[in-house]
Structure 1
């Protein structure tokens, strides 16, 4: 798997599929860059798109990208894998895990889940990206630092694709050492944060103008505008889309106020 002759690679370019879940665009950018570097003509698809399942079912080589949360899989991604467990058998999968700081076995935890359903894990890649947590000052970096982070991620993707073409796909996040690093690095201490959807999303009703953008962006349908004011429920998957896009900075999750709204397009 994933070790093709030149002739096979030419035909393979047209059947590869990239799928992702992305909050502020980091993971989508990384999956798209990976596909472009390899020369694939196939576009990437969000797990929220209706056509994504059909793409997965009809193709054998798949790249899956997602942002790590507390060294774990976002709840929405885990549910997607489990709910559609019948489609993974025999699929050859490369995993891209994006993160703001550290994950340990970011790719490995998804790999273990997919293996339960018969997937063949080709390799894993960890990519540090600008953080997507808009309301925590401690995680903020300068604009210049974030641009460098994105450039380094692109360089790492290019190197990884070269290695894959040479039959040596990276194995980041896979294996027992990575497993223990993720387990004892964060997951044991914050295990409960990713086992359920959260009800901690806060909307400042004074700042809210009822524009409805957050309602449209939410992948969980967790936000609804009622009587001109947005209100949240208990199914937030912590993607930070609504927080990063709210025009009045009326929404927070982990912190008390928005420090900086994030979108990867700022650094491209």
Structure 2
């Protein structure tokens, strides 16, 4: 068994590591950014796949990873975990449909509400105490899902047609353009930025770079909010105009 994931602010990483530990304490968990992940996928028959949901859709980086490596998923059994700030409808179904086309067998799905990671938009923001409770409730749900999987009755959240319609009409139709392609909306406040390079180091897309002593952005942001949540001077925004919260999982566990 293998756990593979994409995680921006740590929510998804925390959830899949908790799930896999409950299921098989000896199993590995790896980011899709790991250079050895494809080799490990080839060796594994059962995969737990996890990612956050953005506007009821897959992060572009995860969708591209699946399609680019479609042959690696042929004949694999896959359980899907989708994390979200509020609602996705068919969060697990978004990758399930792709993976089925790759020849994978989807054995179950789990939706987990986690603290919102969009740090430059005030909507959905909660107190630290509320976010701690959200994480605790997610852990209980993970334990119950693992027990169901061990018992041969895996949870199937986000995988049926009603879930698909919920995700489609709930958000995806209205915000499809936000996740269809990578975005160029990253903004660097030059008055705050100290050019420490932390954002460059953390960016999974290599979207940020230094030029003439300034941090600049290309047009390949996958909206993971890793840069915004780790900038020591809160100099980065993506969708909003100011940082309301740097939403890292470490704040809530």
Whether TM-score is above 0.5 comes out as yes
Residue 229 of structure 1 deviates from its aligned partner by 1.5
Q: Name the CA distance, whole Å, in 1 between partners of 2:24 and 2:71.
A: 29
Task: Give yes or no for contact 2:182–2:221 (8 Å, CA) kept in 1.
Answer: yes
Q: Name the CA distance, whole Å, in 1 between partners of 2:192 and 2:74.
A: 48
Aligned residues: 253
Q: Name the CA distance, whole Å, in 2 between partners of 1:128 and 1:76.
A: 21
Secondary structure at 1:159 match in 2: helix
CA RMSD of the aligned region, Å? Answer: 0.7
Q: Name the CA distance, whole Å, in 2 between partners of 1:225 and 1:209.
A: 11
Q: Pick from 175, 189, 196: which aligns with 1:204?
A: 189
**1:1-268 pair list within 5 angstroms:** 16-268=1-253
Give unmatched runs, 5+ long, in structure 1.
Answer: 1-15
Residue 138 of structure 1 deviates from its aligned partner by 1.8
Residue 109 of structure 1 deviates from its aligned partner by 1.2
Residue 42 of structure 1 deviates from its aligned partner by 2.1
Residue 264 of structure 1 deviates from its aligned partner by 0.6
Task: Give yes or no for contact 1:209–1:228 (8 Å, CA) kept in 2.
Answer: no
Secondary structure at 1:137 match in 2: coil
Q: Residue 5 of structure 1 aligns with which residue?
A: none
Secondary structure at 1:18 match in 2: strand
**Residues 32-90 of structure 1 deviation map (CA, whole Å, 9 limit, x = unaligned):** 00011113312210000000000001110000000001111000000000000111110
Q: Name the CA distance, whole Å, in 1 between partners of 2:120 and 2:22.
A: 33
Q: Name the CA distance, whole Å, in 1 between partners of 2:211 and 2:72.
A: 38
TM-score between both structures, scaled by the size of structure 1: 0.93
Q: Name the CA distance, whole Å, in 2 between partners of 1:157 and 1:105.
A: 18
Residue 154 of structure 1 deviates from its aligned partner by 0.1
> Deviating runs (4+, > 3 A) in structure 1?
none
Secondary structure at 1:138 match in 2: coil
TM-score between both structures, scaled by the size of structure 2: 0.99
